[in-house]
Amino acid sequence: MAKISEAEVMADHGIDDVFVAYPLVTAAKMERALRLSERIRLCVGVDSEAGARNMEEAAARRGTTLRVRLEIDCGLRRTGVPYEQAVKLAQLIHGLPHLDLDGIYTFRGNLLDGKPTLDLRSAGHEEGRLMVALAEQIRAQGVPVREVSVGSTPTALYAGEVEGVTEVRPGTYIFYDRMQAKLGVCSLDDCAASVLATVVSRPSDTLAIIDGGSKTFATDVQPDKEPLNLSGFGYIPAAPEAMLERLTEEHGMIRAQAGDGLTIGSRVRIVPNHICSTVNLHNRVYLHENGRYRAIAVAARGMLE
């Protein structure tokens, strides 16, 4: 879970224990985090001395203590203090009286030796070992580390096997998607969420057009990229040979073939490459249970503030 705005929406929906795995740095967001921490059990990310000191001051002004967790960069080169500088920063945070350092966390994805990999077992084990070893180094300096939190959906299963890891944070597993299937985390049949599109045009045997484009299917996981080499922007269970080849904003162009059933007006279910960013594009999702559909709003999205 990423942002304070999303944590606020979750709190409004009754979720009372939230980890904002994202560095908080601005005064306005820290104030919101401090207010939220009085309503629910909240932990927020920190990954820099500047961020930690700002947060210390904000908590001191409010006369409270904020639970924080130190983010470590284990090679993804995203947020997170560089691995080699983590012990020093943990000691510094531990010395700040209004911050309660509860542990360390990382997000590494399916990375091994600095490159995306399909060897999730090795990647997950390495991720876990790196974090447990770091926790030991920090503890050796007299700084308690209660939580050692790891794991993306591809690596969580294996990273969680490492002795000393206390938490995994997979996200995509709730639905699974085509990317996870290609990674070998699940099968295509395991993918629980799909987009139900309609064929709106069939200009020729080889081209079918649906009413969903890049505003309907996320484009952050592109086709034909290593190591996934996904073919097109989604998987079509009813016509596995058909390829959702091109997207414009409201149009999806399917490379089709005669007799594939993609006739004008027909419905076509498509498993997107990346379900997280695809759900983010829609106002509602429809939950299916026992033959019934229930619409629920996608509430925590569209907010940079």
Q: Tell me the one-letter amino acid at 60.
A: A
Residue number, 79 or 166, with CB nearest to a copy of itself: 79
Our finding on whether 247 is near a copy of itself (CB under 8 A) is yes
Which of 249, 258, 289, 290 is the binder for a copy of itself (CB under 8 A)? Answer: 249
From the list 136-144, 160-168, 175-183, 207-215, the region that binds a copy of itself by CB under 8 A is 207-215
Burial class (CB in 10 A: 0-12, 13-18, 19+), 79: middle
Which of the stretches 11-19, 115-123, 126-134, 276-284 binds a copy of itself when contact is defined by CB under 8 A? 276-284
State the angle between helix axes of 27-37 and 49-62 in degrees (0 to 180), rounded to the nearest 10: 50
Q: Which of 123, 253, 256, 271 is the binder for a copy of itself (CB under 8 A)?
A: 253
* Torsion, Cα of 172, 109, 151, 120 (10° steps): 100
Other beta carbons within 10 Å of 162:
19
Q: How far apart are CA 263 and CA 274, in angstroms?
A: 26
Region near a copy of itself per CB under 8 A, out of 93-101, 161-169, 179-187, 280-288:
280-288
Q: Which stretch binds a copy of itself (CB under 8 A): 78-86, 123-131, 132-140, 185-193?
A: 78-86
Looking at 165-252, list the stretches that DSSP marks H as alpha helix, in order from N- to C-terminal side.
178-183
If binding is defined by CB under 8 A, does position 81 make contact with a copy of itself? yes
Tell me: does residue 277 bind a copy of itself (CB under 8 A): yes
Which of positions 208-227 make contact with a copy of itself (CB under 8 A)?
209, 211-212, 214-216, 218-220, 222
CB of 298 to a copy of itself, least distance (A): 8
The DSSP line for 108-149 is --SEETTEE-S-HHHHHHHHHHHHHHHHHHHHTTT----EEE
Q: Which is nearer to a copy of itself, 125 or 251 (CB)?
A: 251
**Per-residue contact string for residues 146-185; x = within reach of a copy of itself by CB under 8 A:** ----------------------------------------
Closest C-alpha to 35, from 2, 4, 70, 69: 4
Instruction: Compute CA 298 distance to the chain's CA centroid, rounded to the nearest angstrom.
Output: 15
Residue whose tokens read 């203590």: 65
Binding footprint of a copy of itself, residue count (CB under 8 A): 61
Does 302 bind a copy of itself (CB under 8 A)? Our answer is yes
What's the rounded Cα separation, in Å, for the pair 246 and 236? 14
Minimum CB distance to a copy of itself smaller for 162 or for 183: 183
Whether the Cβ atoms of residue 255 and residue 242 lie closer than 8 Å to each other: yes
Q: Whats the size of the chain, residue-wise?
A: 305
Interface mask toward a copy of itself for 113-152; x: CB under 8 A:
----------------------------------------
Nearest distance from residue 53's CB to a copy of itself, in Å?
10
Contacts of 191 (CB under 8 A, 6+ apart): 175, 176, 177, 178, 180, 181, 235, 271, 275
Q: Does 207 bind a copy of itself (CB under 8 A)?
A: yes
Tell me: does residue 257 bind a copy of itself (CB under 8 A).
Answer: no
**What residues line the site for a copy of itself (CB under 8 A)?**
2-3, 22-26, 47-48, 50-51, 54, 73, 77-82, 195-204, 207, 209, 211-212, 214-216, 218-220, 222, 247-251, 253, 263-265, 276-277, 280-284, 298, 301-304
